[in-house]
Structures are given as C-alpha cells and as structure tokens.
C-alpha cells in the first residue's frame, strides 16, 4: 500500500525551546483561571485529548506504522517513534503485569519542564505536564484503543524520574485496527 500523500509540502523541524516556553505560558494561564490544581490538571488533560485526536492523523500520515499486533508493540511505537518525532526524546518502556496491558514510559529527561525548577508556590498537586496524558489518550482513542494515562512519578515533585503509566482498557481486537476514515 502506498503511503498517503502528504497534505503539506514540508515538515518543520524546530528547536523545542519556544514550544517549551509557550507551554509554560499555557500552564501559567490555566493557573490564573482555576484555583484548584485538580481543575488545572483536568483542563490540561482535556486540551491534550483534543490535541491528541488531531496529532495522531499527522503521525499516521508521516510514520510507516501500520497494524500493531500487541500492546507492547504499540507502546514501543509511542516511545521510539512518536515521542522522538514530537518531543525529541526516547523514553524507556517497562511492562507491569503478566496480562501485558499495563506499561510505563520512563522519561529520564522531560523537555516540557526544562525551564521549570519547581512547581509554583501552593501548587503541589499540579501535574505540570498533564497535557501529555491527554495527548496519548486522545491519540490512542482515535485508533480505537481506550486507555488510562496518568503520571506515576514526576521529577517536579521530587521523584528521580518522570513516569507515565498507560493501562489499556480493552482486549485487543483485530477488526478494530482499521484506521478511522
């Protein structure tokens, strides 16, 4: 099968610092808008979800990823292709259970938090990078993979690494892997 035609003639590779600082401005705005950390976290996740549903179209159009046959394969594509493409990092992958539907992405470096030394005062429950959870969840849902995505560890909260837990909620079903039209 031939690759789908590119919608645009070129793909931009950019230094990520403008993105990271812009993300910081977004988080700061949400902290102004909402008193509670839980609300900021919720809106970051919601925004991320909307972004993920659109970003996955770009990803599928540009990568050579086709049908995946296991959750492990999907997680490896997220870590080695998607994170590399969109954030310039390659997280490590671990699997948590014998039914192999619970995984973690270990970010030894978290570019989104590069200019953040600590959480703002009075914001200890803030999940600064919660946009990423929404993005992953939204992208996976567009390819019919329901998942829970949460931060299990966060360097901004004193942990030694940043860890994103991904739990797939449904049994794998071949028929559902056709890309949405």
Q: Which residues of 78-92 are buried (b: 16+ CB within 10 A; e: fewer)?
A: bbebbbeeebebebe
Name the DSSP letter for residue 36: S
118 is an interface residue for another protein by CB under 8 A: no
CA 15 to chain centre: 19
Our CB check for another protein shows the closer of 84 and 176 to be 84
Work out whether 19 is an interface residue with another protein (CB under 8 A).
Answer: yes
Segment near another protein (CB under 8 A); pick from 21-29, 66-74, 146-154, 173-181: 21-29
Helix 37-62 vs helix 130-142: crossing angle, to nearest 10: 40
Task: Choose, by CB under 8 A, the member of 76, 88, 123, 161 that binds another protein.
Answer: 88
53 CB contacts (<8 Å, ≥6 apart)? 138, 139, 141, 142
CB 120 within 8 A of CB 177: no
Q: Please select the residue that binds another protein; options are 60, 77, 93, 111, rule is CB under 8 A.
A: 111
90 near another protein, judged by CB under 8 A:
yes
Residue number with CB closer to another protein (118 or 178) = 118
Whether the CB-CB separation of 137 and 147 falls below 8 Å is answered with yes
Binding status of residue 65 toward another protein by CB under 8 A: no
60 near another protein (CB under 8 A): no
* Count of residues engaged in binding another protein, rule: CB under 8 A: 40
128 binding another protein? (CB under 8 A): no
- What is the spatial distance between Cα 132 and Cα 139, in angstroms, rounded to a whole number? 11
Smallest distance, another protein to C-beta of residue 41, A: 15
The structure tokens listed for 87 are 């954030």
The residue ranges that bind another protein (CB under 8 A) are 8, 11-19, 21-26, 29-30, 33, 43, 47, 50-51, 54-55, 58, 84-91, 108-109, 111, 115, 131, 135
């Amino acid at each position: 099968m031939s690759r789908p035609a590119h919608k645009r003639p070129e793909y931009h590779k950019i230094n990520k610092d403008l993105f990271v600082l812009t993300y910081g401005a977004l988080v700061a705005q949400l902290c102004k808008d909402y008193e509670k950390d839980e609300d900021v976290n919720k809106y970051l996740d919601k925004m991320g979800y909307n972004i993920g549903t659109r970003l996955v179209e770009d990803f599928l159009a540009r990568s050579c990823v086709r049908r995946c046959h296991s959750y492990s394969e999907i997680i490896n594509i997220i870590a080695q292709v998607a994170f590399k493409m969109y954030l310039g990092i390659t997280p490590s992958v671990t699997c948590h259970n014998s039914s192999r539907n619970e995984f973690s992405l270990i970010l030894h470096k978290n570019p989104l938090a590069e200019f953040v030394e600590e959480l703002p005062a009075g914001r200890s429950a803030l999940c600064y990078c919660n946009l990423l959870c929404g993005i992953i969840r939204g992208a996976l849902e567009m390819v019919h993979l329901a998942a829970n995505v949460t931060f299990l560890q966060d360097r901004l909260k004193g942990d030694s690494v940043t860890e994103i837990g991904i739990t797939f909620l449904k049994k794998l079903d071949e028929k559902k892997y056709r890309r949405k039209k």
